[in-house]
Amino acid sequence: MAKPAIISVDDDAGVSAAIGRDLRDHYASDYRILPTTSGAQALELLATLVLRGQPVALIISDQKMPEMTGVQFLERAKEHSPGAKLVLLTGAWFGWIGVLFVLLLGSVLGTMTALAVYVTRGHLPEPEGVQEERRELLEELAKLEGEERAAFEAELARDPLFAAPEKGLSRARLAFGPFLAIATLTYALAGRELVGIYLRLGFS
């Protein structure tokens, strides 16, 4: 059976080649790495793979491209391969305004969610990732003895995430990543328009 494919798209040939090299360095043993330089080329390749019954595991696309945006490409790619994971690359396109937009919107979304959960539940559950990491550290600590154990305990004592969560909204721990992801997608879809509206209202 053919290895699942990873398709990447970037209209900059140098960037596309670099992405392909990085992917091959890490995943070539398990996946076919197929870099392309346009949405049209990637869609044609994707259609060929689907026609041959070859699986597609991941589709990576730059956002700012001349023929179609990354969002538009991924929407069409999803029709060909609904089971593939999708990744949108937007960092270089954002600029400082985009970075500030994402951080601000992510913070607002996170704060609103934390308040809503705290009001309805009376507490904020600690993220599962933090709990799992603490369990793994305790398991590692249990294997150590003597000076090595003492040194590791001292290191853990300086790690704020290792300590049990304290009560109160201000001390709560919240997974921030999902809110940054939502903010990033928002900026990718309508960020410039939203920033433009804000600037017009602010200086009118």
90-96 long-range contacts, Cβ below 8 Å, gap at least 24? Answer: 90/62, 90/63, 90/64, 90/184, 90/187, 90/188, 92/64, 93/62, 93/63, 93/64, 94/187, 94/191
* 169-191 mean pLDDT: 65
pLDDT tens-digit readout, 84-97: 999 988 754 556 66
- Decide if 203 contacts 117 (C-beta within 8 A): no
- The pTM score is 0.49
What's the whole-number mean pLDDT along residues 151-168? Answer: 71
- What pLDDT does residue 106 have? 77
Residues in a beta bridge with 60? 8, 87
Element (H, E) at 35: strand 32-36
Q: How far apart are the first and last CA of the chain?
A: 62
CA of residue 189 relative to chain centroid, distance: 16
**How would you classify the pairing of strands 56-62 and 85-89?**
parallel
User: What is the rounded CA–CA span in Å between residue 139 and residue 152?
Assistant: 12
Looking at residue 38, its pLDDT comes to: 92
Mean pLDDT of 91-106: 67
**pLDDT over threshold 60, residue 204:** no
pLDDT of residue 24 exceeding 60, the answer is: yes
Rounded mean pLDDT of the chain?
79
- Whether residue 118 has pLDDT greater than 60: yes
Rounded distance, CA 191 to CA 189, Å?
6
Q: Is the pLDDT of residue 187 over 50?
A: yes
pLDDT of residue 203: 47
Q: How far apart are CA 51 and CA 41, in angstroms?
A: 15
Of residues 8 and 174, more confidence is placed in 8
**pLDDT band, residue 155 (cuts 50/70/90):** confident
Buried b (16+ CB within 10 A) or exposed e, 126-148: bbeeeeeebeebeeeeeeeeeee
Structure confidence by residue, pLDDT tens digits, 54-78: 999 999 998 888 888 888 999 999 9
What structural domains and CATH numbers belong to the chain? 5-89 (3.40.50.2300), 95-121+174-204 (no CATH), 127-164 (no CATH)
At 191 the pLDDT is: 64
**Ranked by mean pLDDT, which of 88-102, 116-130, 133-147, 154-168 comes out on top?**
133-147
Cβ contact 43:59 at 8 Å: no
Name the phi and psi angles at 152, rounded to 5. Answer: -70, -40
Q: What count of other Cβ atoms lies within 10 Å of the Cβ of residue 163? A: 10
Q: Look-up: residue for tokens 């949108």?
A: 88
Residue 48 has what pLDDT? 92
* pLDDT over 90, % of the chain: 21
Is pLDDT at 34 greater than 70 in this prediction?
Answer: yes
124, 174 contact by CB (below 8 A): yes
